[in-house]
Structure 1
Amino acid sequence: MNNRYRLLPLLLSAGLAACGGGGDSAPGSGAVPAPVMPEIVAKSALLWRATTSTGRSGRLILLDGGRLYFLYSRTNTPDTLGGAITGLAGASGASSIASTTLDFNWEGLPSTSATLSASLDVHNNLNGTLSYSDASRNLSFTSIYEAPAASLVSLTDIAGTYVSSDRTMTLVVAPTGAVSGTAFSTSCRFTGALKQTLNHSSLLHMVLTFQGGACALGTSTVTGIAAYDVSQRVLVGVALDGSGASATLFQGGNS
């Protein structure tokens, strides 16, 4: 792994909460607060396309600084988000990583910690295992390294209104990267911003701030990663609160 992708040890949060997030619901008629554009420090990213022994697929993303994300699909349903795993990766050898992670499942399973161990092969593909206290959830995975694309996706290309399939969450992306929307209720609004990673234009840093009201996370600010599927015009992502113990997950299509 290139030295510029510095790996840091994991600092686990003591508390573990179930994930929040959702689908999409169109904003109500009330006044929408002006989108806030917080400062986001763009980082480089490593990206792998993963397949698990449990029939899932997904994106495994490692940011410069060591933050690891694994956005995985439902079993045998590659186009539907099933959950997200996140942690800080630490080097366990010249070409290996290990991390205690949190798995925020979106299929009704309890959110829990898991140990990720993986190593690179000669082609920079990343293969490994995830181990849980409930051994029935253990899995192995293989993943193919995806180099940065030659063709760039701009924020103007990504701009639009993304609505989840159950219509409980709406996320509006402006050409500037400003974000606004609602989650689960028209009285739970959020604002924020997206900014592209330095070398993968379809991977985006994300910051969202909830506006109180009916929001389960109150007025928390959450940060994370989003991935844009160019062919399907779908945006998926996960963002964590400051403790790292609560997460917001979303998947929305831009019709």
Structure 2
Amino acid sequence: MLDDGRVYSLYSVAGNSSIIAGGVIGTVTSSNGTLSNGSGYDYNLEGQGVNSVTLSGTYAAKASATTSIQYSNGSKVTFTGKYDASYDTTPTQATVTGTFKGESVTTYGTDPSVTMTADANGAITGTGTGCSFTGSIKPHASGNVYDVTINFGTGACAYPNTSATGVAVTDGTAMRAELQTPSKAGVLFLGTKQ
């Protein structure tokens, strides 16, 4: 959860934390230990598709948060997460300058051959299978994350002539970016710095 109330979360396959099963993108209001008025979308990669959700819960600042995700069919998932102190690290442009290779995932499937290059000013160029894109990546104003915008070209892009915005996080040479188009379609990028 970012300082502006945006929420980005990835979840894994049951019993195997190394395999990503989907992600949630949304917004929530935080005040005096309570999370409320939250809404967003769950992008499930195990065949459940895209589902609207509401978000609520409680938190202890820089300690933990318990969040409930309520689905339109009445089901609910609740989980508790601990605060990651690396969020307090100041992000640098140099960390994301270079070439990252990996895969992109959408509800249409996976492209295993994505290359994304960011220059020292944060300008992005990249290609996938039959798809090219441009964009930008910049350190977020608060917290160890990066603001990302991608502009997809024509051709075989999952969302041709469309932009997507979101955030990226890094862990060593690994990058994970979670993005959303204006029509609420989701895009996940998993890459490694070369």
- TM bucket (normalised to shorter chain) is 0.7 to 0.9
- Deviations 1:78-125 (CA, angstroms, capped at 9, x unpaired): 34433221112135x632113122001223322101222110137641
Partner residue in 2 for 1:234: 174
> Whole-Å Cα distance in 1 between the matches of residues 151 and 54 of structure 2?
30
State the SS of the aligned residue for 1:156: helix
Partner residue in 2 for 1:175: 120
Partner residue in 2 for 1:192: 135
Moved over 6 A (4+): none
> Whole-Å Cα distance in 2 between the matches of residues 80 and 102 of structure 1?
20
TM-score (norm 1): 0.64
- Structure 2 unaligned segments of length 5 or more: list them: 104-110
2:161 is the counterpart of 1:219: yes
Partner residue in 2 for 1:210: 152
For 1:192, the aligned partner's letter is: G
State the SS of the aligned residue for 1:73: strand
For 1:197, the aligned partner's letter is: H
TM-score (norm 2): 0.82
> Whole-Å Cα distance in 2 between the matches of residues 153 and 62 of structure 1?
14
State percent identity of aligned pairs. Answer: 27
> Whole-Å Cα distance in 1 between the matches of residues 61 and 6 of structure 2?
23
- Deviations 1:103-159 (CA, angstroms, capped at 9, x unpaired): 0122332210122211013764111222224466x3221111234666545222332
Partner residue in 2 for 1:141: 79
Distance 1:154 1:90, change over 3 A: closer
- Structure 1 unaligned segments of length 5 or more: list them: 1-60
Partner residue in 2 for 1:164: 102
For 1:125, the aligned partner's letter is: S
2:16 is the counterpart of 1:71: no
Partner residue in 2 for 1:6: none
2:48 is the counterpart of 1:105: no
State the SS of the aligned residue for 2:154: coil
The structure carrying a bigger strand percent of its residues is: 2
Distance 1:199 1:63, change over 3 A: closer
